[in-house]
Amino acid sequence: MKNVWLAIIAFICLPGIGWAQQHKKDRKAEIKKIVEAQNYVFKAQTALPTAGATRQLTSDYDLRVSKDTIVSDLPYFGRAYTAPLNPSEGPLQFTTTKFQYMVSNNKKGGWNVTITPKDLTDPRELIMTIFDNGSASMVVNSNNRQPISFNGYVTAKK
C-alpha cells in the first residue's frame, strides 16, 4: 500500500517539477534577451543608503534602459558633499542619451551591467548585477554624494 501512495505522489509531483525547470530556463532566456538588447526596466523595491536604515520603497521608482536613452526616476537618501544647483530636482532623476553600456557575464550566473553617463556630472556610474531569475541589485556612485544601493528586479520594457 505504501508503494502505491508513493507512485501516486510521484505521478502528481514529477510533471510539476519538470514544468518548473522549463519555466526557469525560459525566464533566464528572457532576461538574457532583454539585457543584451538594452530594453528593460529596473524596478527598485529597497533603497540601501551608505549611512542609515534600509528603506522599503512603496512608490514606483525605476531606471528605464534602452539602446539610445537611460531614464532614471530613483530616490536618494544620503549625504551630499556639495549643494545642488536646482534643489527641486532629485539627484537620481535624469535622462541621458550619451552613455557607455557594458555587459559581462557574472561568475555565478547572471550579468554585470555598468552604465556610465557621458553628459552628466552626477551620477558617475551605475553598476547593476542582474540574476537569472530577474532579481537585480544596483549601486549608484556619484561625485558629489555618498553611494546608494537598490534591490529590485528587471522586467521587459512595455
As averages over each run of 10 residues, the pLDDT of the chain (158 residues) reads 61 54 73 91 94 89 94 88 68 90 89 92 91 94 91 91
CA dist 44 to 11, 58, 132, 145, Å? 40, 10, 17, 19
pLDDT recorded at residue 63: 95
pLDDT recorded at residue 69: 94
DSSP 3-state of 145? strand
Q: What CA–CA distance (Å, rounded) separates 59 from 32?
A: 27
Q: What CA–CA distance (Å, rounded) separates 124 from 73?
A: 16
Position 103, amino acid:
V
Q: What CA–CA distance (Å, rounded) separates 26 from 30?
A: 6
pLDDT recorded at residue 28: 85
Cα 12 from chain centre: 36
pLDDT recorded at residue 19: 43
Contact 93, 73 (CB under 8 A): yes
pLDDT recorded at residue 21: 56
Give the predicted TM-score (pTM) of the model.
0.80
Per the structure block, which three cell numbers stand in for 43? 524596478
pLDDT recorded at residue 121: 80
How many CA atoms does the CB half-sphere of 141 hold within 13 Å?
Answer: 9
Contact 101, 113 (CB under 8 A): yes
Q: What CA–CA distance (Å, rounded) separates 152 from 116?
A: 20
Q: How many residues does the chain have?
A: 158
pLDDT recorded at residue 140: 94
String of DSSP letters for 135-150: EEEEEEE-SSB--EEE
